[in-house]
Structure 1
Amino acid sequence: MKTVLVIGIGAGNPDHLTLQALKALNRVDVFLLFDKGPAKHGLNDLRRDLCTRLATERPWRMVEADNPPRGPDGDSYAGAVQQLNDDKQRLIERLIADEVADGQCAGILVWGDPALYDSTLRILQAILAAGREVFEYQVIPGITAVQALAAAHRVPLNEIGGSVRISPGRQLSDALGAGDSQVVMLDAHQAFNRLRGQGLYIWWGAYVGSADEILIAGPLDQVADQIEHVRDQARLRHGWIMDTYLLKRTLP
């Protein structure tokens, strides 16, 4: 029986790997990497570095394939993502069939945690449902950008008795309750700007946990322009950006 380990590797700091993830790395025979193009080579460079430094207990090899491109959203964001996942399903199914021998263990290294804004688990479930490949898979949780952001800013995510909502930027709520918290990920258009004038406080971070970490916090109305400028400059410098922020109505 083949085994696939879906390993959460944290938000960019190698020290974020759990002991469970470290043990998982040292079970892997074949690491599967997916290249998202020159702008995001740094993400796979980190994965290679983690494997080289930490997977030292047994021989392994690495197989890298081009990640399918995502088409335009058009009339349906969900439809575009589903098409991307269908393309990735065919790719991952082929790699498991061709590159992983019976009895071997494959590893897929997922940024952050496999259960939050990542489709690897859905794709593996779809492959098994199709019935052409048989394998077992295990999930090793990782530290998310949400946790890393709160730790970097030394702020609790929730208010006492309040709720925490996690959403992409396109679903940022305009009605943030007094005791509630809003965490926003995948915000390419700085949706926080439409919440100016509401007395909110923001804790923002990019490349959280990495050597390139940038942190800004303060009343939203006062720091929104600074965040936009810093974000634009960082994206130009690195070719990509991964940022997250926390919003609260209750000021510290």
Structure 2
Amino acid sequence: MTSRVRIIGIGCHPEQLTLEARSAIESCDYVIAADKGQDDPLLALRRSICSSAGVELVAVPDPSRDRSSGLDEAGYDGAVLDWHDARAAAYSSVISARPGTVGFLVWGDPAFYDSTIRVVDRLGLEYDVLPGVSAISLLAARHRLVLHEVGRPVLVTTGRRLAAEVEAGHDNLVVMLDGRLQASELPDDWDIWWGANLGSPHEELVSGRLADVVGEITASRSRAKDADGWVMDTYLLRRASPAG
């Protein structure tokens, strides 16, 4: 018996689950999820989704990753590739012992800064991908935004890359994976639309001139973590016009 994989975007909260995604979960024989340690709240949410769909969740200890602060670009990329290889090996071991239709539940949407597609591609199995409601979409909706101005692009990047992207001249950016709020190191001529734990009952939203709201963002981030046990934030940065 061969195995097939379904990579399913589940949005940013169980209420964000699409009908297509729910049907896909129900079609699985079981779901694999990375177990990142004791009291992992995102694993608990995945377990709850699986339980409501009547599908078993198999938790796989997540391999460690080199997160040294001194890694250069090449070292960082190498550490991520090693981590992906280790994840693929761990998942392959489970799938080899349990053939069938296997689900992976991706927080938000699999297309935006998530490794699941790359990891599953290493397994050499047939797979499909179902989109989910992304934090980027929720950010725009909650702030009633169009992410790009008329006829202009928007760049999606990470906090780690933010300074380089600004230096390169980008002035309209969606930033993800920024636990240190790298934007706070930018000059004063930026506006920000920020959100944390979007889609959850405890989501936090802040907007305004960056220099004026950095403290409010820091406090909001702490509230979100205290309420949910985790924090994921994203934001739109746009260079302010000379007129403000």
TM-score normalized by structure 2? Answer: 0.88
Provide the aligned C-alpha RMSD in A.
2.1
1:106 counterpart (102, 105, 110): 102
CA distance in 2, matches of 1:223, 1:38: 34
Q: What amino acid maps onto 1:69 in structure 2?
A: S
1:4 matched to 2:13? The reply is no
**1:230 alignment partner in structure 2:** 220
Provide the rounded CA distance (Å) in 2 between the counterparts of 1:229 and 1:196: 21
Which residue does 1:242 correspond to in 2? 232
Unpaired stretches in structure 2, ≥5 consecutive residues: none
**Would you say 1:183 and 2:174 are equivalent positions?**
yes
Match of 1:196 in 2: 187
- Deviation of 1:19 (Å): 2.2
- Counterpart AA for 1:3: R
Q: Superposition pairs for residues 11-26 of structure 1, below 5 Å?
A: 11-12=12-13, 14-26=14-26
Structure 2 residue matching 1:230: 3-state secondary structure: helix
Q: Structure 1 stretches (4+) deviating beyond 4 angstroms?
A: 175-178, 236-239
The equivalent of 1:65 in structure 2 is 60
CA 1:109 to 1:216, structure 2 compared with 1: closer, same or farther past 3 Å?
same
Counterpart AA for 2:58: V
For 1:159 and 1:250, how far apart are their aligned partners in 2? 12
Is this contact kept in 2: 1:35–1:44, CA < 8 A? yes
Which sections of structure 1, spanning at least 5 residues, go unmatched? Answer: 129-134
8 Å CA contact 1:176, 1:248 repeated in 2? no
What do residues 123-177 of structure 1 show as CA deviations (whole Å, max 9, x unaligned)? 122221xxxxxx3111111111111111111111111111110101011132586
State the SS of the aligned residue for 2:4. strand
CA shift, 1:230, in A, is 2.8
Provide the C-alpha distance between the structure 2 equivalents of 1:224 and 1:176, rounded to a whole number of angstroms: 23
Query: Taking every aligned residue pair, what percent have the same amino acid on both sides?
Result: 40
CA distance in 1, matches of 2:26, 2:226: 36
The match for 1:158 is: 148
Provide closer, same or farther for how the CA distance between residues 213 and 92 of structure 1 changes in structure 2, counting only shifts above 3 A: same
What residue is the counterpart of 2:85 in the other structure? 86
Given that residues 205 and 216 in structure 1 are in contact (C-alpha distance below 8 angstroms), is that contact kept between their aligned partners in structure 2? yes
Deviations 1:92-115 (A, max 9, x none): 11111112x2xx211110111112
CA gap of 1:176–1:18, structure 2 versus 1, over 3 A, is farther
Alignment-derived partner of residue 131 in structure 1: none
State the AA in 2 paired with 1:31: V
Name the SS of the counterpart of 2:108 in structure 1: coil
Q: Distance in 2 between matches of 1:250 and 1:236?
A: 32
Which of 140, 156, 166 is the matching residue for 1:174? 166
Q: Give SS of 1:193's match.
A: helix
